[in-house]
Chains A and B, each alone.
Chain A
Amino acid sequence: MLQREMVEQARSGDRDAFSALAGSIVDRLYATAMLILRDRSMAEDAAQETIVRAWRDLPSLRDPDRFDAWLRRLLVNACHDEGRRQRRRGSEVTLLSVHAPSIGDLSTVLAERDALERAFRRLSPEHRTAVVLHYYDGLSQPEVADATGVPLGTVKSRIHHAVRALRAALEADARSAEMTRGGSA
């Protein structure tokens, strides 16, 4: 069954169709939530919440072809809700395991990864969202604005700020590595 058919049937109250639809989107929702939230438990909650809200509010979706964008916005809202709770909770963030790199020099990739990871975590959830939607989901900046519900100028500003911070982190890490190598030579 095509996604459009599943959406239409689920929108009319077909729970089986919605189950199939949810099964086809859950991995993508979880992956995006993980990138934004950087916490497994919170990402699971956000993905779960998005699915529940999608079911509940599907009748409000007038154009089934807009499902992906609509769903993405639900996810962004769920992630930001989780982020707010996390900030209020002030609890530790679960550190992620290191995925085995598939390309490139191991030490370089790991060093880059750590530097990016640290810098990425320091970004606000809103900045991380903009980066993830733009660089991972491949949305244009106007599409990011639509998904996050903020003006295009704000999106541009967030992406600019985030990229500058991430780039600075990588460069600082590279300089540090250079100095270490120079010092030990």
Chain B
Amino acid sequence: MNRDDDFDRTLNVWLRREAPPEAPDRVLAMALRRVADQPQRRAWLDRIRKGTRTGFILRAAAVAAVIVVAAFAGLRFTNLIPVVGGPSPTPSGVSTPSPSTSPSPSPVPTGAPAADCVNPPVAITSLIDVADPVACYGNDPLTLDATWYGGGVADCPAAPEPAWLACSAFSLQPVGDTRKVGAPRLFVAVDPSVSFSPAEPFAQVRVTGHFDDPAALTCHETQLGGGAETLAPVAELIEGCRRVFVVAQVVPLLPAGLGGQIAFTASDSVVSMDLGTGSPQVLTAGAFPDWSPDGTRIAFSRAGGTALELWVMNADGSGQQRIGVGFEPRWSPDGSRIAANGDPIDLGTLVVLNADGTAAAVLSATGGRSASWSPDGTRIAFVRARPGSSGAVPELALVNVDGSGLRSLAAAVDPDWQSGGFRWIAASALGAVSTLVLVDPDAGLTTPIIGLEPGVTVPAWSPDSLHVAYVFEGNLYVASIADGTRVQLTRGLSVFAGRPAWSPDGAWLAFIAGEAPATDLYVVGSHGEGPWRLTTGAGASDPDWRPALP
């Protein structure tokens, strides 16, 4: 026996020893489960056998599609998805609404053989749908709800395609896929210019796009090619044909039950987001949005020629009207007036304006930050400079809306007046570290909220006035006002110390987190569900939940 034979035998023995004697039971079980839901590929084969001419045409169409897709990939994404720093009026990090009914402008050639597409699906509901080359998707928009598993760009040899395309490996697992075998299987090559990078692993996202079906149909003829399981601008090469999923939009997949609308600032724009769909709408240039109590109008600020101007507009951005000068507007409970800070220097001034801009009055010349209306609309708590102090040492003050009764209340900031017949003002007491206190607006007495540690900031009453949300060491909490028991709602998100916004039903909170200037808007369930990030590097601030419409 020669040396080669020895080696061959060694190799054979080693391979036999390495080969597992049997497959785990789940392999067969899961395969048969999939088979049970899957028809055999008869109709398609019949079509192929009927004539090769059609196949040739489809193949040619596929090649053309691939070439065009590759050539236009950058243009497509520039057009469909806002690019950071780009000329789009959309603030970076805030995706525009999906062109869900007409994914244009799309350079991808259409011409899918509509006759073959009987009842194309509108949603990809399982991996099998995606992998099944029999499925005929046409060019209709498709959605896929999935869990984001993270990923990255692998170190791989030089490829004819860009590294992000050839070697990036961001993975998704469709929501509802219950297969036990296998890791998340849907891989997405992410164009670096596309704002698509949910930071938290396991974030839920909704991917919208459409298949370029001529290529998909050609894949049908490649019977051994397997499924096209890649959602990508240009998908994996499979036996010489490509199946392309053109990504038009990726938005967070929001939890069931979340709804309503949030206005917030994104960079220098006022944005309104429909939480039913996660779709944002840029309303106008400006900042500090504040919904009117009836939810029909928004007050906001905009940089004017020499000052920050106060404006009011309808909920859809129409009917914009300049009503005066100031920022941080706060509507009165009856919607007739707006309190604001009239001057950005030091602690500013407290001004009150009629919402229609017909009159304005300065109520405090020594400060006007963080105005909070009393529930009956007769008084305003705010932050001003302490009388007699040199410089802007803040304190909590109170004034009647007619300008009378101006007085100090407490050494505290960030007031939030309780509603619904209650009387307390929650605030952050100043000291070596801030403490959350309840302030009696009549007596000026302060009471620490039971059980809360020092260092908490920006309290916000729940709509039922039984709980208070606050920020402590970069995390968001909700505490019961009765006994101080608290629930930590976020961990490690670096929550911005700005006031969180409660949903009208008290079930959700919107807040800002992240490192400036790339802060983002989040929502979290008031019992700890989530959180979900709604923007990506948007420079978000000042969230305000639209009141329930009457």
Residue ranges of A at the interface with B (Cβ–Cβ < 8 Å): 13, 15, 18-19, 22-23, 26-27, 29-32, 34-35, 41, 44-45, 47-49, 51-53, 55-60, 73-74, 77-78, 81, 84-85, 87-90, 96, 99, 101-103, 112-113, 116-117, 131-132, 135-136, 149, 163, 166-167, 170
Are B31 and A136 in contact, CB atoms less than 8 angstroms apart? Answer: no
Are A89 and B34 in contact, CB atoms less than 8 angstroms apart? Answer: no
- Complex Cα distance A30/B35, Å? 18
Are B23 and A135 in contact, CB atoms less than 8 angstroms apart? Answer: no
- Complex Cα distance A90/B156, Å? 9
- A51 cross-chain contacts in B, Cβ below 8 A: 27-28, 31-32, 35
- B35 cross-chain contacts in A, Cβ below 8 A: 15, 18-19, 22, 51-52, 55
B505 within 8 A of A: no
Interface size on B, residues (CB 8 A): 58
Are A45 and B185 in contact, CB atoms less than 8 angstroms apart? Answer: yes
Chain A residue with the shortest CB-CB distance to B41: A56
B21 within 8 A of A: yes
Are A60 and B41 in contact, CB atoms less than 8 angstroms apart? Answer: yes
B168 within 8 A of A: yes
Are B187 and A88 in contact, CB atoms less than 8 angstroms apart? Answer: yes
- A15 cross-chain contacts in B, Cβ below 8 A: 35-36
Interface of chain A, main secondary structure: helix
Most B Cβ at <10 Å: residue of A13, A77, A117: A77
- Complex Cα distance A39/B202, Å? 24
How far is the CB of B313 from the nearest CB of chain A, in Å?
47
Are A88 and B28 in contact, CB atoms less than 8 angstroms apart? Answer: no
Residue in A52, A73, A103 whose CB lies within 8 Å of B31: A52
Are B30 and A31 in contact, CB atoms less than 8 angstroms apart? Answer: no
Q: Which of B6-14, B364-372, B533-541 interfaces with chain A?
A: B6-14
How far is the CB of B219 from the nearest CB of chain A, in Å?
13
Residue in A57, A59, A112 whose CB lies within 8 Å of B10: A112
Are B226 and A26 in contact, CB atoms less than 8 angstroms apart? Answer: no
- Complex Cα distance A53/B131, Å? 10
Besides A88-B166, A149-B224, 15 new A-B residue pairs in contact (Cβ under 8 A), listed by A number: A30-B24, A35-B15, A41-B182, A52-B34, A53-B226, A59-B42, A59-B45, A85-B187, A87-B156, A88-B156, A90-B167, A99-B17, A99-B18, A136-B12, A163-B7
Residue ranges of B at the interface with A (Cβ–Cβ < 8 Å): 7-8, 10-24, 26-28, 30-32, 34-36, 38-42, 45, 132, 134, 151-152, 154-156, 166-169, 171, 181-183, 185, 187, 223-227, 229, 236, 238-239
Are B17 and A89 in contact, CB atoms less than 8 angstroms apart? Answer: no
- Complex Cα distance A102/B42, Å? 48
- A73 cross-chain contacts in B, Cβ below 8 A: 224
- Complex Cα distance A58/B39, Å? 11
- A85 cross-chain contacts in B, Cβ below 8 A: 169, 185, 187, 229
Given contacts A41-B183, A135-B11, contact A35 B27 (CB under 8 A): no
How far is the CB of B253 from the nearest CB of chain A, in Å?
22
- B15 cross-chain contacts in A, Cβ below 8 A: 35, 131-132, 135-136
Are A45 and B19 in contact, CB atoms less than 8 angstroms apart? Answer: no
